A and B are shown apart, each in its own frame.
Chain A
């Protein structure tokens, strides 16, 4: 247990160890540690951000879906309405067309009737004249008796 030069040797060794540690050991280790710390912190914040993004995306998806459903429902309703309208319109058209056809037919019938009446009238006049001729046994001057014959035809 003598105090001797060992003391100084030990102090020198200590100084060299400290110098080496300060210069070559401490900086790389602490740097690696702080870099890792930063990386972990970044990773954690990225994960946080990602989960927040996911939440937002899910919310947006739900919203979009709801909107799409609403739009589809509106479209279907519109289509139904339009179809009803078309049906109603075509019913109307058909009815009008029918009425028009009936109207036309009625007019034609009227015309035919009138024409037939005219023909009939002329025939009767002719028959009447023929009858009268027979009765009189002489010809009747058509020109002389036209006035009387027309009066007769008009009475028919």
Chain B
């Protein structure tokens, strides 16, 4: 456990990182700063401090982000698959009701936002919505609960359980959506058609092709960026506030974190909804042939 509030906050905002440290790297004690060991070759290991984690660079995994997000994804698929297998056309039971409400809600979103014919879009939207919703919901678990429990059970230093407060988590999804945007743009309009659309909109004149290209490519790149950063920003800010509340004396915390958590029931759903709707809209644009 960290001592000062600053350390406490930093500790809570650090992911559990497994990555490659380069040869000759001096591993320091996170508290005293002493050199504990020097690596004689590049090593894959668990980061013991924030500095080590950032020194690992790109060749590292956030074990907690991946673990929790995959767990949530599997939970989603398990629940929905169970309902799908036992789906009755008669009177639905409790879980089937919830699942069908979600499916109907997504069907509505896709009907409103998507103006093409593609059987993948609706299940894609359902996956995005429920997965993000579940990942965001992890935030409603008190900030210290899971990390303390896991640190007590396992020899680990860090645990950040909300995958959407990690930009890797949100960018992973938005990049998936981005690849689909590019894929469907080329599939529907053809490679040349897509290029033509990028070159001749918004100004249909050959002299303005470079300008158009810059504008359109920027516009295209903004889509995954805005998707990922919006979700990440909202969740991260909310998390920071929860951590700040957790610094206060325990007997006063409920006055702040209860309203904030109730507010976050809305934020959790709203952010999942926004991500889903925008993805559907972007994919619909990809399908529109001018």
**A residues engaging B (CB < 8 A)?**
1-11, 13-15, 17-18, 20-22, 24-33, 35-36, 39
Q: Are B169 and A10 in contact (CB under 8 A)?
A: yes
Q: Tell me the bound Cα distance from A33 to B168 in angstroms.
A: 36
| In the complex with contacts A17-B77, A29-B100, A33-B100, A2-B172 CB distance below 8 A | no
Chain A's nearest CB lies how many Å from the CB of B42? 15
- Bound Cα distance A18, B104 (Å): 18
* A17: chain B residues within 8 A (beta carbon): 73, 76-77, 127, 131
| Chain B positions 35-88 with a Cβ under 8 Å from a chain A Cβ | 53-54, 56-62, 65-66, 69-70, 73, 76-77, 80-81, 83-85, 87-88
> Are A11 and B173 closer than 8 Å at their CB atoms?
yes
**In whole angstroms, how far apart are the Cα atoms of A22 and B56 in the complex?**
36
Q: By the criterion CB–CB under 8 Å, are A3 and B89 in contact?
A: no
CB pair B176–A18 under 8 Å, yes or no, is yes
Known: A17-B131, A18-B176, A36-B89. A6 touches B168 (CB 8 A): yes
> B184 near A: Cβ within 8 Å?
no
Which residue from chain B places its CB closest to the CB of A23 in the assembled complex? B123
Closest to A10 in B: B172
- Can you identify 18 A-B contacts, CB atoms within 8 angstroms? A1-B13, A2-B17, A2-B57, A3-B168, A4-B61, A6-B61, A9-B66, A10-B172, A11-B172, A13-B73, A17-B73, A18-B127, A20-B77, A21-B123, A21-B126, A26-B103, A28-B85, A29-B84
> In the complex, are the beta carbons of A25 and B61 less than 8 A apart?
no
Determine whether the beta carbon of A6 is less than 8 Å from that of B84.
Answer: no
For the complex of A and B, 9 pairs with smallest distance between CB atoms? A10-B172, A32-B87, A6-B168, A26-B123, A28-B84, A6-B62, A4-B60, A35-B89, A14-B176
Interface flag for B171 (CB, 8 Å): yes
Q: A6-B66, A29-B87 are in contact. List 7 more A-B contacts (CB 8 A).
A: A2-B53, A2-B56, A3-B58, A11-B176, A15-B176, A17-B73, A27-B84
A21 touches B124 (CB 8 A): yes
Interface centre among A24, A28, A29 (most CB of B within 10 A): A29
Bound complex: CA of A154 vs CA of B168, how far in Å?
Answer: 168
B202, chain A: closest CB distance, angstroms: 31
* Selected contact of B103 from candidates A3, A8, A10, A33, CB within 8 Å: A33
Contact B168 A21 (CB under 8 A): no
Closest to B179 in A: A11
Given A18-B124, A28-B87, the answer on whether A9 and B172 have CB atoms closer than 8 Å is yes
